Chains A and B, each alone.
Chain A
Amino acid sequence: MELGHSRNLDKAVWERVELARHPKRPYTLDYIQHMFAGFIELKGDRCFSDDPAIVGGLAAYQGRTLMVIGHQKGRDLATRTERNFGMPRPEGYRKAQRLMGLADKFGIPVLTLVDTPGAHPGISAEERGQGGAIANTLLRMARLDVPTVAVIIGEGGSGGALALALADRVLMLENSIYSVISPESCAAILWKDSGEAHLAAQTLRMTSQDLEQLEVIDEVLPEPRGGAHRDHAAAARVLKEALEDKLRELETIGPRLRKKERFDKFRRMGVWKENGLTLF
């Protein structure tokens, strides 16, 4: 690889990372406000508490109902702390499971919006089973009979993000990122230097274009010129159109076939060699 070229690419990738984390980027509640005529938020996991890092509820959508669940970051210091920077605790994931169950019971399609640096790392989160909470959210999503659409709207940080993204269709906004680990942590572990985060970001291939190429996501949604933070309403319109499109597609198939296709899709994830041949 030619070095100059690599450096430029490096810069372009890092700009994407910064856009995905832009403090003025629209968050879940912004999209909900722009996309739906009405929204009733439902709170609590019925076990321990309500986690403000994940919001969810019933949205009025073209004369019918949609269950919307998403990570929620705060805009200023107070709300950022309250929302824990969008890092859910087990309660958040258990609330998500509860709302998914509710949607399934009444045949309501589920839209999830993904935007988190990752699940909260902490002692109390571990005590209450962070790993199991994420795993069971994945299982709940796998099991749903209703159509599911997930959109990565900002940061798709590791397992904490994936928990809400085991969906029939997974879309990504153009300037969002989706990765197994943050570029900073990856650089600290593999390069032994968190200063190499730019290089890690490029090597991990975390932009929407990379993920489309790797066939991990179904579609990249274009953002308004300069990024979604420039025009929340326009970004929400793009998302709404895509949602309409995907739901129409998914609702022509029966629940059994839809589930089978969902399983087939995730079964294909990964690249390996078998008997010397590389299989995708």
Chain B
Amino acid sequence: MLGKLFKHEFKDTAKILLPLNLALIGVTIIGMIILGLKVFDFEGVAMGFLAASMVFFYVLAIIALFIVTYIYLMIRFYRTMYSDEGYLTHTLPVSTFSVFNVKLLVSVFWAFLTMILAVISVIALFCTVLQSAGELTSSEWNYVLYELEMFFDKSVPALIGKCLLYMLVSCLSGLLMIYCSISIGQLFNKYKVAASIVTYIIIYIVLQIVNLILNMHRSMQIMTNSLSYAYQSTYDDVSIIGDIFASSMIQSVVLIVIYYITCVYISNKKLNLT
């Protein structure tokens, strides 16, 4: 049954999200060709303006891609779990626990895929620009990688692994925060959508306040370091970055657990389809 749930969830979500991600790949490849082959000569004011416009629309498209993906996943979750289609979802001979897990995993897959593709797209276009300008020779590339390794005191694969882990955790916590708000919102007998939005805003504000308090000490430390004449070495900054990374990971994992338990509890025990 779990396999069938995955099959249908992927099939349904792919109708919208697959073309969007393919479009991103297409735009990246076209961008690389244009930049790599120097089809346009970006010299002069007019061409400079054209280049700036293209970069602007590219950035806008990437932002729009994330917004559309998250809004689509959010609406789909609400529609299939707590609205009319919930009548079918919750009368399938499958546990609500499995239904929720499958929805979550498929959503995380798409959000993570979009994030990875967006990062690859930006890096690919950036490297193409540098390469076509003759500023990215293999020795320079090796130098950049070496500097990165030295700065973070980690090998490049370890850095990439850490970034991927961070991206995955942020997708998971971002989606679960939305799903948790929707689940709490459906507990209300009226204005469920409004209640979900208000819940999301409240969670967001509370998190901001908690973050502010938690980070106050660390911010002071960075400021003192920056202002101090006896500025010691980059090591301190790197260790602070490491600290921020570790504490933000711990915070995200704690939040993920809270959101997840709330969602599973509500969908299992407090289902309130009207």
A and B associate = no
